Amino acid sequence: MSEKQIRILAIESSCDETAAAVVENGRCIKSNIISTQIPDHALYGGVVPEIASRKHIERIDNVIEMALTEAGVKLGELDAIACTYGPGLVGALLVGVAEAKALSWAAGLPLVGVHHIEGHIAANYIEDPSLEPPFLCLVVSGGHTHLVRVIDYGKYEILGRTVDDAAGEAFDKVARAIGLGYPGGPLVEKAAKSGDASAVSFPRAKVEGSPYDFSFSGLKSAVLNYINGLKMKEQEVNPNDIAASFQEAVVGVLCDHAAMAMEEFGAKDFALAGGVASNSALRSAVQELCVQKGVRFHCPSPILCTDNAAMIGAAGYYEYIAGRRDKWDLNAVPGLALGERV
């Protein structure tokens, strides 16, 4: 007899993407619908929490319906409903959590709350169905920069994290400073392709006493100071060179930390995750590092790096088979820590 297929409807609404997906056995995407709010926030140069919540409410029903239709399943045929319950914007998270609770009550399906960063890490399980813990993972997104030892499914040790700005946040702030739009990451990457990465030597900060921690606010300030210095001297600012030099500094720091962890823990597998992992300079630098160290390199395709619900379905599956079940009191937890159960 064939093994039972576990199909999960996953919902993600922690920031500015309204997303729903149907994922089978944590590894196989049946549908993956993402409605991005980027145009709604671009006017303001960043995510406006109030607008994000309202847009999630307007779109979530349609997005879920599209995910079910594309997967060719009815709600009642599913095994569980998973939703992101933290970390993120509280008003945005609440929309997905309330929707997941309503659907799970109406259809009599188990409810599974998922940690957003666990989702980002789990995107690697979809990309490479043979990947299993233990492995090292560098999570680089708009809100987080974590170097993590994935010990087992749902079991993590955080080796390092940012003490100030996240890597994606630094990309967004530098993009603003050099006159690019929002979100900054992809625009900085594009500008960097036409720039000279050795044009400016930006600092690569170390955190005293915490070799795995990151600090990006000094780098961001260095970029701003550099631009102001040029302006004061009435010299021309070359945004492409700044973008390339900044990106080089970020990628350099991330690679240094990754290399240190690979050596210390004798890693066999190293994975990237999060929105910044869609940056091709970072992907190729870490891939090259893995080749040098004889470590297998993993990275989700760009659409699974930025926020999506398929990754929540993958993480939700491992929570589901481990027996996690949430009740009607599941709440949004904006500051939820990785590995924490609330």
Contact residues: ligand KG4, CB under 6 A: 15, 141-143, 168-169, 171-172, 183-186, 189, 274-276, 278-279, 306-307
> Based on CB atoms, which residue is closest to ligand KG4, 49 or 186?
186
For CA atoms 118, 119, 120, 123, give the dihedral sign: positive
| Residue 245 touches which member of Zn ion, ligand KG4, none, C-beta under 5-8 Å by kind | none
| Residue 168 touches which member of Zn ion, ligand KG4, none, C-beta under 5-8 Å by kind | ligand KG4
| Count of CB atoms situated within 10 Å of the CB of 27 | 17
> Based on CB atoms, which residue is closest to ligand KG4, 113 or 274?
274
Selected range binding Zn ion among 42-50, 179-187, 292-300, 307-315, rule: CB under 5 A: 307-315
Helix (H, G, I), strand (E, B) or coil at 85: strand
Instruction: Number of residues interacting with Zn ion: please give it, by CB under 5 A.
Output: 2
Q: Mask of contacts with Zn ion, 141-160, x by CB under 5 A?
A: x-------------------
> Based on CB atoms, which residue is closest to ligand KG4, 135 or 171?
171
Q: Could you write out the DSSP letters of every residue in 249-312?
A: HHHHHHHHHHHHHHHHHT-SEEEEESGGGG-HHHHHHHHHHHHHHT-EEE---HHHHSS-SHHH
> In terms of Cα–Cα distance, which of 103, 244, 114 is closest to 178?
244
> Based on CB atoms, which residue is closest to ligand KG4, 80 or 304?
304
Selected range binding Zn ion among 55-63, 133-141, 156-164, 216-224, rule: CB under 5 A: 133-141
Selected range binding Zn ion among 42-50, 79-87, 102-110, 137-145, rule: CB under 5 A: 137-145
| Residue 270 touches which member of Zn ion, ligand KG4, none, C-beta under 5-8 Å by kind | none
CA distance 315 to 124: 10
> Based on CB atoms, which residue is closest to Zn ion, 12 or 248?
12
Quote the radius of gyration of the chain (alpha carbons, Å): 20
Chain position carrying tokens 């170097």: 147
Which strand (E) or helix (H) includes residue 33?
A: strand 28-36
> In terms of Cα–Cα distance, which of 169, 100, 142, 138 is closest to 15?
142
Q: Give contact residues for Zn ion (rule: CB under 5 A).
A: 141, 307
